[in-house]
Structures are given as structure tokens and as C-alpha cells.
Structure 1
Amino acid sequence: MKITFDDYVIGKINALNLTDSDILALDYDDSLTPHGEADACAIVTQIRVVALANKALLPKEFDGEIESNRGVIYVKSFGETFLDPDMKIRKAESGNVIEVMGDGGILSSNAAIVDYRE
């Protein structure tokens, strides 16, 4: 499984000015927020790439890794069932919306990049 970010998304991630200890996680059930549902049984359409200050801040459910052209992205391994083996996270053809694509089509038409570092 891999993720390829296009230049637009790489630019958004680079604008976060990540340090060597910062990590990225792929969150799809809002489990990285206080009101999240870490035990959700199905993927939702809001996929987020989340920046965290270090791996110790990840909930234990984030036990998997996906390679990307921006380094390792942490995921919940049980959720890989809902993802595509060859995902692309890119700017949509219209507007400044970020979408997640797989070989089977659009996985999310409104993805976000979120900074949860303090």
C-alpha cells in the first residue's frame, strides 16, 4: 500500500514546517480529536492527513504504516480494508479542494490537512 501526494498537497504539507520528530497520520474517523470515534466500524468520507508532534501522541490503534512520497504515514491497520493499495492525494480539478483517489475511484472528495502540533 502506498500514497502519492501531488505537488499541491506536498506544498501544503511543506508549509507546516515539520521537524524531524513530527509525524503524519491518515485519520478517517476523527479519532485524533477529543470527540472522535476511535472504534468506528466503517470509513467515512472525511479523510484527513494530520500532523502530530511525535509518534507517542498516536492512539494505539494507529498500528500500521503506509509509504508515501513524503515519508511514512501512520494508519490504523484494520482500516486498510477501506483504503486502496495505490492512493493519490491531490488537488481536485476544480477549486482548491483536496481529494483522495484510488484505482477504484474517489475515496474522499474533500480531504483535509490538519496540524495538531502544539
Structure 2
Amino acid sequence: MEINNQNLFNKVIELLVKARQKVSQTINNTMATAYFEIGKMIVEEEQQGKERAEYGKQILNELSEKLVSEFGKGFSKRNLEQMRQFYLTYSIAQTVSAQLSKGQKLSDEFKNIHIF
């Protein structure tokens, strides 16, 4: 069967392309949120209010082994370290952003920091 109406065909293609883009974007956003939350859980477990580097290394090794066995590749110790860093980086950015939105100036944030 040949489609005689090229306009219909183009509209259907456009709709499907947009739908696929939306699905891809939703998946990316959902995974970024999941990685952020995983990073947060790692930081909270590692630190428990303190610095516990050796315990943290053990947590990452064990968590990596269990996640790789359950979900396959993508959860190496290095990836988990990156998820932790993702959380640390963007939680700080969110804090600064929230403070700025309350009227605080960025310069106030760094007023007492001396470089030299």
C-alpha cells in the first residue's frame, strides 16, 4: 500500500520523532536524578556526620560488586565515585542558587575567602 498523502506521512514521522526525543529526554532526566540520589546516599552513609575515608572505600567496593551483579556494567567503583562527586558538586550549586534567590549576592558568599 502506497501512501498518497505525503503531508500525513510527514506529520506522522514528525510526531514519532518528537515522541522518541521526549522519551529519551525523560530517561536522561530520570537517570540523572537517580545518580544524584545514589551519590547523596553514598555521602550520607560514608560520612554519618564525620569523615570516614577508609570506610567509604569499603562501601564503594561492596556496593559496586552488588550492583554489577544485579544490573551489569555501569556501576564500577569509579562510576559510584562519580555519582558521589555529582551529588557533592550539584548540592553545593543548589545551595548557592537558593541563597542567591533569597536576595543574597554571590560576592557575600565569598567575602571571607582569602586567596593569598
Same fold (TM over 0.5): no
Q: Structure 1 length normalisation: TM-score? A: 0.19
Q: Is the radius of gyration larger for structure 1 or structure 2? A: 2
The structure with higher relative contact order (CA 8 Å, sep 6+) is 1
Larger helix share, 1 or 2: 2
Larger strand share, 1 or 2: 1
